[in-house]
Amino acid sequence: MNPSEQYCHFFDEDEFLETERPGFRRRVISGDRLQLCFWRIKGGAEGSYLHKHNDHEQLGIVTRGRLEFQIGSDNPEERVVIGPNQVYFAPPGTWHGDSVFVGDDEFDECWIIDVFSPPRDDLRTES
């Protein structure tokens, strides 16, 4: 499908795919140079690990719930908490993750919109 013909309706429940990590669902839209990954993560879900993307910039926006995580350091004592309408940015090679997901009052989910540039090949198959 031509990327310009893809549309993402965030609230189409059937469009979110379960991942290998329990409580993690996502919807991915990919273009030629940009990729959006909309995560719906159950509050308290586990399975986030400290990692980095050497070839990708990542910009994340929390829209529901809260995210407590490490970013920019591999020191577990250095953690950041962000909530709705707050943004994080991980340039290529920036360590981030080891996250705690706090669900909101309505869905008990943490919603995160991640944007990657360039698109990640491992997520293109879901587009």
Summarize pLDDT for 41-54 with one digit per residue, the tens: 999 999 899 999 99
How many CB atoms are located within 10 Å of the residue 13 CB?
7
Could you name the CATH architecture of 27-120? Sandwich (2.60)
How many CA atoms are closer than 13 Å to the CA of 115, on its beta-carbon side?
A: 11
How far apart, in whole angstroms, are the C-alpha atoms of residue 5 and residue 22? 31
Average predicted confidence (pLDDT) for the chain = 90
pLDDT tens by residue, 72-107: 987 778 899 999 999 999 999 999 999 999 999 999
Q: If DSSP codes are grouped into helix, strand and coil, which group holds residue 17?
A: strand
Domain coordinates in residue numbering, the chain: 27-120
**Cβ-based neighbour number of residue 91 at 10 Å:** 12
Pairing of strands 57-64, 35-42: unpaired
More confidently predicted of 32 and 12: 32
> According to the model, what pLDDT value does residue 1 have?
46
The Cα–Cα gap between 108 and 121 comes to 30
